[in-house]
Structure formats: C-alpha cells, structure tokens
Amino acid sequence: MTTCGYEAMRSGDAILFYINRDGLPLSDRCTERMWTFCMEQYPKNALEIKTIRDRISDYPQIAYVEPPYNVATNPRLSLQEKLQQIQTYIQRLEYNYTGMQFFDLNANRPISGLMDTARHIMTESLPIKCFEAFLIAIYLTTGIVGLERFNISFKTRFNSIVYRHIVLGVKYGQMYGALGLSRRTDLAYKPLNGKYERLSKLIDDYLQAYKNYGHTVLRIKIGLPIIHDLRSYLTINWKAIIIQPNKTDKIDYERELDKIVRIWRQMNIYMPYRSNLSLSSMVQSTNTLVTRASSPNRLQSLSFRSNREGSLTCRRSAIKKTITTTDDNHTTDRDHSLPCAIRV
C-alpha cells in the first residue's frame, strides 16, 4: 500500500510510469511527481518542460468530448459506423504521455465495478492509456446484439524492458476486429470490414506490427466473451487461452484459436444473471505452450441467480467543461438491435 499518493510501475529496474492513488483532481504530491518524472525522462528538454508548466494557467479551456452513450442501440447506424464512432471518441480523449496514470485500475473487479470506472473515465475526459480505452470500449459496445467482445492482451519485450498492451477484440458473424488505443495506430483499432475472417489473421496482424517495431511478443492472452450486462457481478476471464508465439508453431496456435472460437458459440453472452460457477472453470489448462480450452457438457451444468438491481446514474464532473459532440448525422442500413434484451 502506497503512502505517498502514487505508485511506480516497473519493468525490472526501469520505471514505466506512476499510478495516481490519491484520486482526482490530482493532489499536489502527484502533480509534482508527474512533472519531475517528465524532466527525468527528458533531461535535455527540462527548460522547455519548465516553461510549459509555468504557463499552464494561461492555456485555453479544454473541450470536453461528449461520449456517444446511445450509439450501441441507435438503429440509424450500421455496425461499422457504431464501432467507428466509439473508436473516434477513444482517440479524441488522446493517449496519456504524462507518465502519471490518472485512474486507479483493478482488473480483478467484477464487470459492474469496472464499468463504474469506465463512467468515471468518460466523465473526467482526461488522457488515457490502453486499459482505460479497453473499459470504455466495453461500456459503449454493450447492447450491440450479435457483437462478441473479448480481451486480447500482449506481453512484449524491447531492449530488455517488458511492456504490456490490451485491446478489445470484437467478433460479428465471421468478421473480427478490435477497438483500443496505443502510441502506434496499427497496435490499436482494427476495423470490422471483413479483412479478418479468422481470429488467427487478426492476431497475425498484431504480431507483424510488433515485429516492425522491434518488439518480441512473449505472450498473448485471449479471454472468454464479455457478457452484455453493465451490472454483472461476474469477473472477466482474461486468459481462456495463452499463446507464446516465439515458442509455438503457427499452425498449432491457429488450431487452438479456432478451438476457442468453437467454445464461444456455446456461450450466451447476453445472459442477465450471475453464475455460481466461475467462468474460469469452463476452461482447463494443460502444460503445453498453448493453453488448451475445453467446455464441460456444453455449459448445461451452470446454475444462475438474479443480480440485484443497481443504479447506473453517471454524474457530471464538477469541473466546468465545454461540450463537443461526435458526428451522428449520417444514416445507413439498420442492424437489428434489440435493446430490451440487454441490461444497460
């Protein structure tokens, strides 16, 4: 437990960034740590950084990007337009280069808790990184009938430093894509345009991008589909399958990716209940380099109980912000959304 208001995230001896543990607005000690860390990272630009800091009170008011809350159930938009609007919103929040992660995130929280965090992130409208973008993408895509969402997590190494990255994989019919945010555009958004008709092709596209940047991909984790229920007390299954592409033959991990897709077809991602049986028990690990996944008895042994009702009110920040909106004027063919089937 930190006592100084922030915590360092390290890779070996290298500090990657700091996590704000004091909440928002930033405390004086977190603000000071953010600026000094920036100077430590870029000592040749210390004077320029100091000049920017001294002028901070003179900057114009920053526009507040209005989240597309209702885009998921908008019948006037096609599926591709919905995902594009969500991705555009995520990009407009911008990547966080400050060295201080503004939000205290815990991946082990249930979906309801993570979605509370997502609402907080959208309310504050501050720069974000990949995991915050992942949570926003889950929140805003909830309610798109037929769209399966799942995590794709990467662990890579570059110059002896280990990095982690995550995007929200999406599947609609036989098409795959992804939503997310990264310093590199080809490590984030992948449109759902028919280019990736197999999950392995989507993964290979990320692998090639990492190779182009000189990163060695150590591990890829893919989870089970995330149910369309913002109030769910289930936790996300982060690693239904684990791939080590530098130690596994391409044909082998493609076969395992196809296997996890077959398991997804047996799952009801719209179930508005909490399972008494952990979803992690639905996949059984082996000692192979590719974690094999299996599903007992086609999920028929699960028992459920109803969730308790919870408030989904999202209060606005007390900080005065200028409102801007994303483009929502054009119309195309409908995709048949059924908002009554989803708890949002």
Instruction: List residues with catalytic annotation.
Output: 130, 165, 182
Q: In what order do the strands lie in the sheet with 147-158?
A: 175-179, 161-172, 147-158, 216-222, 241-243
- Cα separation, 259 vs 75, in Å, equals 33
Question: Are the beta carbons of 138 and 238 closer than 8 angstroms?
Answer: no
Going by the DSSP 8-state scheme, the letter that residue 190 receives in this structure is: B
Strands 6-11 and 161-172: unpaired
Q: Is 218 exposed, middle or buried (0-12, 13-18, 19+ CB in 10 A)?
A: middle
Spell out the residues 6+ positions from residue 135 whose beta carbon is closer than 8 angstroms to its own: 105, 114, 115, 117, 118, 121
Strands 273-275 and 304-306: antiparallel
Question: Are the beta carbons of 224 and 282 closer than 8 angstroms?
Answer: yes
- Measured on CA atoms in the order 223, 224, 228, 231, is the torsion positive or negative? negative
Radius of gyration of the chain (CA): 21
Question: Are the beta carbons of 170 and 138 closer than 8 angstroms?
Answer: no
C-alpha separations of 205 from 305, 307, 329 in Å: 40, 39, 32
Question: Are the beta carbons of 295 and 40 closer than 8 angstroms?
Answer: no
DSSP, residue by residue, 49-61? HHHHHHTGGGSPP
Nearest-10 Cα torsion for 265, 224, 131, 204: -70
